[in-house]
Amino acid sequence: MSSEHKALLLGAGFVCPPAVQALSEAGVHVTVASRTLSAAEAVTDGRSNTSAISLDITDSGALDSAVADADIVISLVPYIFHAAVVKSAIKHTKPVVTTSYISPALWELNEEAKEAGITVLNEIGLDPGIDHLYAVKTIDEVHRAGGKITSFTSYCGALPAPSDANNPLGYKFSWSPRGGLLALLNSAQWYENGKIVEVNGKDLMASAKPHDHFSQFDLVGYPNRDSVGFKEFYNIPEAETVFRGTLRYKGFPEIIRTLVAIGFFSQEKLAILDSEKDGSLTWAQLTAELLGLSSDAGEADIEAAVLEKASFLSEEERERVVSGLRWIGLFSVDQVEAHGSPIDTLCAVLEKKMAYGPGERDMIALQHRFEVLRADGARETRSSTLIEYGEPIGPGSRSAMAKLVGLPCAVGTLAVLRGQIKEKGMIAPWTSAQIATLLRDELKKKYKIELNERSFIELEEQVF
């Protein structure tokens, strides 16, 4: 590809380096833009064909100037900023690539983007992204053969490798945990046996169930937000069940449910958590306050109050959860680093205690399962599975998550630049089987990223 092509990449998060490397190696000059120049420079450091700039995305004039100077815009900032980016891109007739779901705010810009003649490729990361590429592959194959998808279930988990899941939650953060924690309070809905099933956000963790399709791991799964629309997106109106879920290690949901019950997920500002105070508040005192106990309550009283709040725990779970809360430090006399609200104060300590350490690895586990009624009447179960481990944490290492989000993003960007994706407006890999095939084949050929596909056909019982 000609080095004349210029990409503006907005953001400097951990998924950016693989995308920047892949694009620069393909001959695209990548300008990485971040509010903090040093963050952008960290992404471009040591890479040829790149540059770094400081850019406040909320400054429409500065954004317009940067967009006007690029051939394509890659938006890897939080999704709430995508609409502003796309509006600027429409003004300057520049295509856009994001790894996020197409939000209602983006759908509102669909016709404007079409009129401007620009492609806005979304949902080309891991989840969403790679998951789409293999969902539509199997669905298209089944439909072409005259079959029907009677059930589609999909689970994905971004986790520590089993050997590094060495804390009571079996989870670690490589970014600020606030968004991930609050997502555990999202409501969810899906199709099950032909009916829409809903779960309120406060009950999301209670809906977690053991997941045995990855028998080598001790996992549980819970619903991932709104799966109802995927019946239409994937063109499977015949499906009785359409479900997408998230994977975590066993024990995670019970600790989260207990933290919620105590009040640690509250976003309400509390006077005792005013960061301007003298810093004499202990974790035991904060936990006691949230439980309605006196500030001089002892550890035994606090534990008893916790278990009363968490009456949903089994006897086995009670001991494990209390041990986990003690590990976090909720009963300790250590001083609290106050951040205004319980959730922000909790995030500050979890970000430190649950960070990946040197030499540790992350892991991605993704699986689709399709129940199929074939044209010949036979019933078939098909699966598509991916298990990917990141590189051990160290200078220049890439996590599995960074690789599986950044590289699909780069492949999508190159496809748009090369004119291989001609559709205009808001599109995603599920838009057409042709787009999905193009991106999937390139990921497999160039980066050996693919899902392992298997099939099992149910045979009718023979009577002899």
How big is the chain by its Cα radius of gyration, in Å? 24
For 286-300, the pLDDT digits (tens) are 999 999 999 888 899
Least confident among 4-18, 55-69, 260-274, 449-463: 449-463
pLDDT recorded at residue 276: 64
How many secondary structure helices (H) and strands (E) does the chain include? 16, 16
What does the pLDDT average to over 186-195? 96
pLDDT recorded at residue 376: 94
Share of the chain above pLDDT 90, in %: 88
pLDDT recorded at residue 278: 62
Band (pLDDT 50/70/90 cuts) for residue 461 is very low
What does the pLDDT average to over 18-41? 95
Res 249 pLDDT > 90: yes
Q: Is 286 left (phi over 0), alpha (psi -120 to 50) or beta?
A: alpha
Q: Is 127 a catalytic residue?
A: yes
pLDDT recorded at residue 464: 38
Q: Is 169 helix (H, G, I), strand (E, B) or coil?
A: coil
Does the predicted model carry a pTM greater than 0.75? yes
Among residues 66, 48, 30, which one has the least CA distance to residue 417? 30
For residue 151, list its beta bridge partners: 241, 371
CA dihedral sign, ordered 428, 432, 435, 436? positive
Q: How far apart are CA 284 and CA 286, in angstroms?
A: 5
113 close to 416: Cβ distance less than 8 angstroms: no
Q: How far apart are CA 11 and CA 20, in angstroms?
A: 11
Which listed residue (127, 131, 164, 362) is catalytic? 127
Q: If you average pLDDT over every residue of the chain, what do you get?
A: 93
Least confident among 217-231, 243-257, 274-288: 274-288
Q: For residue 461, count CB atoms less than 10 angstroms from its CB and return exposed for 0-12, middle for 13-18, buried for 19 or more.
A: exposed
What does the pLDDT average to over 9-16? 93
Q: How far apart are CA 221 and CA 253, in angstroms?
A: 9
1 close to 29: Cβ distance less than 8 angstroms: no
pLDDT recorded at residue 459: 54
Res 1 pLDDT > 70: no
Among residues 333, 260, 328, which one has the least CA distance to residue 290? 260
Bridge-based pairing of strands 209-211 and 72-75 is unpaired
Res 2 pLDDT > 80: no
pLDDT recorded at residue 174: 79
For 58-111, the pLDDT digits (tens) are 999 999 999 999 999 999 998 899 999 999 999 999 999 999 999 999 999 999
Q: Is 39 helix (H, G, I), strand (E, B) or coil?
A: helix
pLDDT recorded at residue 90: 97
